Amino acid sequence: DIPHDLKQEIKHTLQNKLHRNAGPEDLIATEAMLQRVSANPGEYSDAFVHEFKVFYAELKDFFNAGTLTDMLFDLNVSLDPQNQTVVQNFLNAKGKVDNGGASLQDIMEALHCLTTLRAMLMSGLSSGLRNDAPDSALSMRQNWRLCEIRAE
């Protein structure tokens, strides 16, 4: 149900390269293809478009190319209610600034919330991990570190 020319483009542009050595340019190529295959609903099967979106999301994760907002949504489920509030306050303040036309007060509030968010993240990163920490703990710690870096 996928046109032959698109199959060939995926094979030659992405698949062969990913088997050898993927680079950030492959993420860009994938994003361009995703825009093309999702531009006209019904042109490609919904299942194919869905799987391509999943593939793109996984490739973004592989390259740690997610936005701070995306990363915070993923991290939020593992936080206690107090820290979830810190994240939500930041996202709300950031949303006001991102929408344009923010006042100086909105910008200052966003910076204050960002500082609070970074303090929360650094507090969570301040202790070391045990030598026998499970992979899930290492992965979670990496996510916290990446969030803190993006927040910086």
Same domain as 74, residue 53: no
Give the range of the structural domain holding residue 99, as residue numbers without chain letter: 68-151
Same domain as 38, residue 86: no
Question: How many domains does the chain contain in total?
Answer: 2
Model confidence, pTM: 0.68
Q: In the prediction, which pLDDT does 88 show?
A: 97
Q: Residue 66 belongs to what H/E stretch? A: none
Q: In the prediction, which pLDDT does 17 show?
A: 65
Q: In the prediction, which pLDDT does 22 show?
A: 74
Average pLDDT of the residues in 45-64:
86
Q: At what angle do helices 135-151 and 68-76 cross, to 10 degrees?
A: 140
Q: How many Å apart are CA 61 and CA 40, to the nearest integer?
A: 26
pLDDT in tens, 64-100: 788 899 899 989 888 999 999 999 999 999 999 999 8
Counting residues of the chain whose pLDDT is more than 70, the rounded percentage is: 95
Q: In the prediction, which pLDDT does 118 show?
A: 97
Which among 40, 62, 84 is the end of a domain? 62
Burial of 59 (0-12, 13-18, 19+ CB in 10 A): buried
pLDDT in tens, 102-145: 999 999 999 999 999 999 999 988 888 788 888 888 888 888 99
pLDDT in tens, 2-18: 778 888 777 777 766 66
Same domain as 120, residue 93: yes
